[in-house]
A and B are shown apart, each in its own frame.
Chain A
Amino acid sequence: MDLHVFAKVFSGMGFANLTTGNIVMWVIALTFITLAIKKEYEPLLLVPIGFGMLIVNLPLTGLMDKDGLFWVFYHFSIDKWDLIPPIIFMGIGAMTDFSPVIANPKTLLLGAAAQFGVYITFFGALFLGFTVNEAASIGVIGGADGPTTIFLTSQLAPHLLGANSVAAYSYMAMVPIIQPPIMKLLTTREERKIRMKQMRKVSKLEIIGFPILGTIIICLLVPDAAPLMGMLMIGNLFKESGVVERLSNTAQNELINIVTIFLGLCVGATMPAEIFLKPQSLYIFVLGLIAFSLSTAGGLMLAKFMNLFLKDKINPLIGSAGVSAVPMAARVSQMVARQEDKQNFILMQAMGPNVAGTIGTATAAGLFISLLLR
């Protein structure tokens, strides 16, 4: 009997090709899955990401080899056509209420200020030896916007997609932990107690006109932001027009859920041990945290600066909601305000900069593309 057959069968098994790196990635993947299920940290993303990470670190499956199952998902939905982030943005638009921005348009400035962390971290990443394109893709983590991070990274630095995406979604999940200390450090008790006026009522025509106006203005200024801005606004128009409820429901339910499944699996699948387990990944996590913290600080500081000139003061806590972790960042602003004054309700006012941050980050991504790729 030819015993070489057994050797051949064994050498074709995953067991024979397992590395320490694979096992380390299993531990990380299982940690993500545990955090998602037990602590409910961004479960919609961390469950498929964790599982994708686990399965791609099982040797010889060929899932990410050319024409493998996950390679096909990744290649057509992210790598070649960059479809997933814009489709997610359509779903986000269909779930977003822009009336706080329309009622108080100066909150758009807080969304812009919250991009501060993006650009400072861009320099920080350059110092650490990343290229200009890589630094831009890392910096955008500071916008706390998962789809925008994936959209930009897949165009500028696709080899960093796994680490950048995990960093972005992890920090979005940790908004209630990361932001409050920064908010308390940069504001006084008196500032946190500021009560804001009720927002004016916004008419139906204004709400319907906003997505059209926003698309025209931003896309004329930054055409490269069109995939994200356009899809965000078409989703919002579906919702606000009131005449395409089926499309709105599909965009914010079935479609975004389907796309989220593929997004999570693809992001997880871009993290085999040989790509993820490098010092670069650790730098990205640290830089992502710095970006997010500085973005929080940027929004807060601009709100305080605006108060020097405004008659009706704004509560600077809404500035921290300029990161686009919608609606969590607005809820955190509300929570910190109520710790000082239980009767102070600033959630709706905080939603203004919160949704403005989504526009701001998409614009920042479009500007990076036009400056670095064209």
Chain B
Amino acid sequence: MQERLDRWTERAARGLARHTSRRGFLSVLGRTLTGAVLLPLLPVMRGSQATAAEPGAKPAATDGNSCEYWKYCAIDGFLCACCGGTSSSCPPGTQPSPITWIGTCHNPGDGRDYIVSYNDCCGKTSCGQCWCNRNEGEKPMYRLSLNNDVNWCMANDNPNYHCSVSVILGVAGK
């Protein structure tokens, strides 16, 4: 988990470095690191109470084409699974955004909360299939690391927004 977070942070940081001024990069890096330190403090209280699947709970939605899929609890855009990709992979010929925001989603299938990364897939015009807008824990633009309104393709060579994925980074609240 830590290794994966490190890899993700490194990718994000390299992406930031390519596309921002040094001062801006350091400023954002500082906030990103602050965010990383605060990760265990994100609203993941339910994680500490994680149990096996709740008795009597509805089966977890696991269809990547469905807006009800638990991983999509704060996604905002077209689901890449409907655009040639999957819930965690960009469609062929597009480029993942190196910067993103993270959220915490509850999987009713195993009773755990997971930290997910909402990446946009970029470089083509909007996919137009399976629009999905959910906003659990989402905050306005001034809390950028928790905002899904901005175009997260902003730092890509081609910032055209195509679709969005939700990538599990690990279990929250350990």
A and B assemble together: no
Q: Which residues of B contact A (CB under 8 A)?
A: none
Q: Which residues of A contact B (CB under 8 A)?
A: none
